[in-house]
Amino acid sequence: MKRASLVLWFCLFLISVLRESKAASQAEGHGVYIVYMGSKGSSDDHLQLMSSLTTRRKKAVVHSYPKSFSGFAARLSDDEAQSIAQQPGVLCFSRSRIWPELESFNDKGISPVPSRWKGTCTRGYDFNSSNCNRKLIGARFYDDPGAFESPITGTPRDHDGHGTHVVATAAGSPVEGASYYGLAVGTAQGGSPASRIAVYRICNPTGCGSAIMKAFDDAIADRVDIINLSIGQPAGAEDEFSRNPIAIGAFHAVQKGIFVVASAGNDGPLEETVVNVAPWNFTVAATTIDRNIETHILLGGNKIIKGGGISFSDLNKSPVYPLLDSLSVKLDSEFVYDGDARDCEPDTLDIHKVKGKIIVCEHLDDDYSLNDRLGEVRKKGGIGFILLLPDDELITAPKIRSFPGAVIIQEDGIKILSYINSTRNPVATILPTVTVDNFKPAPVVAFFSSRGPNYNT
């Protein structure tokens, strides 16, 4: 009889949260809540509510969303959460949950944990042994002595989301009726949904260093069957195998018959960027599937441009809205340069020229995000947003959501700009995002996934 695998995963936590006292979290039983307060027009309420929180307790606010809309994330007690949910201006209030409580880690239909399992479910300040089950059978965490406290330390929980994403992809239980606001409806499950999971959280605000070896040591002793790592050293600067903690730990795991899977890295599409190349590793790139998410732009004359991004546009389905490039709606000021306006950088566009129009922006400067550019168009009264991206980046499907918008490759951008420049009254509309099945070619290596050959061979 074939035995079910014990899948071990390591999670890399990106350090994007503010520091907070672990003792305070323990004492008050806080959870992280997302407070959404709509458009920029409600920023006064947003700031007032944040101020009232920080007056009561320093560092209650974990994140603030001040650029394209109003809102914040804060660590709140149950009483504070109930109070804030009733405040004027709060449009959406929800607890942030990317943790073991997710349906992807339910243990329905899974047999009791086999006796050969020697691991443990380590208690943390916001994690108890009861959070483990027949699916999630183990949890450990590794914090260096003297490391400063933050919501990341002192717990095996994933306070960033990267680890949760990786392990659900590897071994998540089936979740029926999954979708992204109605897109790509179906059953979500990992590659090996029958496998059990043990978590070893090795990274913290100071890095991952020595904990890597300790986690390998524990995992081997715990008798896992598969080790999956979602971390790696920088491309082009990976240590030789004899000094590389991932290569050394993996070597000992493989000696014990444990299959080690490691990520190739996210530094593509450049050559010689692949990492975790020790020959005893099974190094995995990122791939696509035969389902695509598309947002189409309809130009005057009913010419369709196939774009990407996720946008739930409520515009008319006929091309009736004025379409302009961002340079033509540039703010008339000696301090605003043409390149900045083409990029739709903050405070570069003229509200009188933008209002009521769909604006085409370019992507010339990586210092500004999609949300920065979209925010400038939206703030100046635009009703739609089209962004020209480097060709391969379209696959990332940026989440524009409530504002009508789409991203397009350079080739299609040239077509749209040509249409604008050759037409007396160019018009367009942006259609709601749709799911396209049986998309070809597929599978292909994702643009961001690192490529070979090995740089030091």
Q: Residue 24, Cβ neighbours under 10 Å: how many?
A: 15
Q: Does residue 145 carry a pLDDT above 90?
A: no
* Domain containing residue 182: CATH number: 3.40.50.200
Q: Does residue 37 fall inside a structural domain? A: yes
> Is pLDDT at 7 greater than 60 in this prediction?
no
CATH of the domain at 90: 3.30.70.80
Picking from 284, 307, 334, the residue at the C-terminal end of a domain is 284
CATH of the domain at 321: 3.50.30.30
**Which residue carries 């441009």 as its tokens?**
305
Check: CB of residue 70 under 8 Å from CB of residue 39. yes
Residues 6 or more apart in contact with residue 446 via CB below 8 angstroms: 268, 285, 286, 287, 288, 395
396 and 359, same domain (yes or no): yes
Same domain (yes/no): 279, 304: no
Domain of 402 in residue numbering reads as 292-437
Are residues 314 and 429 located together in one domain of the fold? yes
| CA angle at 96 for the pair 92 and 100, rounded to the nearest 5° | 145
Same domain, 120 and 82: no
In this structure, are 223 and 327 located in the same domain?
no
Task: Please identify, among 36, 60, 95, the residue that sits at the C-terminal boundary of a domain.
Answer: 95
**In the chain, % of residues over pLDDT 90:** 49
Same domain, 173 and 260: yes
Q: Are 102 and 108 in contact (CB under 8 A)?
A: no
pLDDT digits (tens, 9 = 90+) for 65-120: 565 456 776 777 767 777 777 777 775 555 554 767 888 999 999 999 999 999 99
Domain boundary among 231, 262, 284: 284
Q: How many domains does the chain have?
A: 3
The pLDDT, as a whole number, for residue 447 is 84
423 occurs within a structural domain: yes
| Identity of residue 27 | A
Same-domain pairing of 164 and 41:
no
Distance CA 373, CA 59 (A): 29
- For the stretch 25-49, pLDDT in tens is 333 345 666 676 665 545 566 567 7
> Are 61 and 112 members of one domain?
no
Same-domain check for residues 326 and 344:
yes
256 in the same domain as 109 = yes
User: Could you tell me the pTM of the whole model?
Assistant: 0.73
Q: Same domain for 88 and 219?
A: no
Which residue would you say has higher pLDDT here, 312 or 216?
216
Same domain, 78 and 11: no
The pLDDT tens digits for 384-443 are 999 998 755 554 555 666 789 999 999 999 999 999 999 999 999 999 999 999 999 999
Please tell me the predicted confidence (pLDDT) of residue 21.
Answer: 29
